[in-house]
C-alpha cells in the first residue's frame, strides 16, 4: 500500500478524530502509530479531555505532545503511520503564542513560518514513506467572525487547508460521523458503519 497524505476536516464533534484513528489503525495494523497531539492542558476541562483521549488510544501508539513545533517530530525515526490531531489547535497555539489576545501581531512571515513547519512534517513523512493523517476543524462554512482574531484564525487555517489539500492524495469532510470523500486517488479501505 502506497503511503498517503490524508486531510480529514469537519466541524466540532463531527467524528473526525474517531475516523482518523480508525484509518490510522487500519494502515498501521500491528505497527505503532505516531500520534502528534497539539492540545495544551490549559484548564481542568481540557486536562480531562486530553486524559480521556489518551486512555482511548491503543497502548502501543506513541504520543508526542507538540503544541507548536512539528519539526521536532521529524528528528525522530518515523512510525509507518503518523496522525496529527489537530491542525486547528496548532494554528490557534501559533496565533496565541504571545499571550496578548487583544493585540495579536501576525505577519506574512509568521504565516510562512507556520506553513514551513507543516510542510516539514509532510516532506519528512513522504521521505520516510509513511502515511500522514492530518485532522483539522473546517471553520470556513459558518458566519464571518465579528472580531479580528476570529477572522485572522479562519483565514490562516483556511489557507493552510488549501495548501495541504492540494498535496493530499485524499481529503474527507466528516458530517454527523460520516466521511464524505472530497478528493480521492484511492478508495476507503474499510466500510464505515
- pLDDT tens by residue, 138-168: 998 888 899 889 999 999 999 999 999 999 9
Q: Bigger pLDDT: 118 or 50? A: 118
Provide the grid cell at 63: 504520543
Q: Please write the tens of the pLDDT for every residue from 54-76.
A: 888 888 899 998 888 876 777 77
Residue 86, domain extent: 5-184
Q: Is residue 192 part of a domain?
A: no
Residues known to be catalytic: 53
Q: Is residue 67 part of a domain?
A: yes
Q: Is residue 144 part of a domain?
A: yes
CB count in 10 Å sphere of residue 89: 18
Q: Mean per-residue pLDDT for 18-39?
A: 93
Q: Mean per-residue pLDDT for 168-175?
A: 96
Q: What is the pTM of this model?
A: 0.90
For the chain, what is the domain count?
1
Q: Is residue 109 part of a domain?
A: yes
Q: Is residue 158 part of a domain?
A: yes
Q: Is residue 189 part of a domain?
A: no
Give just the sign of the alpha carbon dihedral 74, 116, 38, 4. negative
Q: Find the CATH number of the domain harbouring 25.
A: 3.40.50.300
Q: What are phi and psi of 169, to 5 degrees?
A: -75, -30
Q: Which residue has the cell 466541524?
A: 11
Q: Is residue 139 part of a domain?
A: yes
Specify whether the CB–CB gap between 160 and 122 falls below 8 A: no
Binding annotation for GTP: 10-17, 37-39, 65, 85
Spatial CB neighbours of 146, under 8 Å, sequence gap ≥ 6? none
Amino acid at each position: 500500500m502506497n503511503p498517503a497524505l490524508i486531510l480529514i476536516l469537519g466541524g466540532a464533534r463531527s467524528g473526525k478524530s474517531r475516523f482518523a484513528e480508525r484509518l490510522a489503525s487500519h494502515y498501521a495494523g500491528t505497527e505503532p502509530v505516531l500520534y502528534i497531539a497539539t492540545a495544551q492542558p490549559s484548564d481542568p476541562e481540557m486536562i480531562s479531555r486530553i486524559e480521556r483521549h489518551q486512555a482511548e488510544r491503543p497502548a502501543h501508539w506513541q504520543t508526542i505532545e507538540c503544541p507548536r513545533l512539528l519539526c521536532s517530530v521529524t528528528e525522530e525515526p518515523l512510525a509507518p503511520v503518523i496522525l496529527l490531531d489537530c491542525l486547528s489547535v496548532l494554528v490557534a497555539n501559533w496565533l496565541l503564542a504571545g499571550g496578548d489576545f487583544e493585540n495579536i501581531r501576525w505577519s506574512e512571515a509568521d504565516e510562512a513560518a507556520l506553513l514551513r513547519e507543516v510542510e516539514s512534517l509532510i516532506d519528512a513523512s513522504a521521505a520516510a514513506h509513511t502515511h500522514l493523517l492530518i485532522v483539522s476543524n473546517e471553520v470556513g462554512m459558518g458566519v464571518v467572525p465579528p472580531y479580528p482574531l476570529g477572522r485572522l484564525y479562519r483565514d490562516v487555517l483556511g489557507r493552510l487547508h488549501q495548501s495541504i489539500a492540494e498535496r493530499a492524495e485524499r481529503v474527507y469532510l466528516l458530517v454527523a460521523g460520516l466521511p464524505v470523500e472530497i478528493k480521492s486517488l484511492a478508495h476507503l479501505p474499510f466500510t464505515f458503519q
